[in-house]
Amino acid sequence: MRRSPALLGVILLASCAGGGTIEISDAWARPSPEVADTAAFYVSLVNQSDVDDVLLGAESDRCADAQLHESVMEEGTMSMSHLPSIVLTAGSDLEMAPAGIHVMCMGVTEPLTVGESVSVTLTFEQSGDLTVSVPVEDR
């Protein structure tokens, strides 16, 4: 889902010693209420290499802690489960989206406001640490 040229700009290619190549696109976050303790980041990932990679976690200086989470609907009830890691097989992609997989930001240090970009680092087994600039948008 390509939404705007500005978002297409947020594409980062990285090659590391392990040979992994992860393309990150369509990163965004909703503005967070001033009183809120949590927020979510969404990114789309494509493993463009021919080796499997694993997303091991995320961090941002705007979150006391950040974890990979998935909102799951079970028998009409919405739950969230913590994903310790997400495997990205060679050539596969992963689209994070509302009510699905997201990076959960816990202990928001400062509210996310429209127009700013938040730096979020994703850690991969093969590709190492990739830092992406996540624009805060009212979608």
Q: Which of 119, 94, 91 is nearest to 29 (CA)?
A: 119
Q: In terms of DSSP H, where are the helices of 43-109?
A: none
Among 39, 43, 55, 58, binds another protein (CB under 8 A): 39
Residue with tokens 């992963």: 94
Determine if 71 is a binding residue for another protein (CB under 8 A): yes
How many residues sit close enough to another protein to count as binding (CB under 8 A)?
A: 28
Instruction: Say whether 5 sits in a helix, a strand or coil.
Output: helix
Determine if 79 is a binding residue for another protein (CB under 8 A): yes
Close Cβ partners of 91 (under 8 Å, ≥ 6 residues apart): 47, 48, 50
Binding mask 47-66 for another protein (x = CB under 8 A): ------------------x-
List residues binding another protein (CB under 8 A). 30-40, 65, 69, 71, 73, 76-80, 98-99, 102, 104-106, 138-139
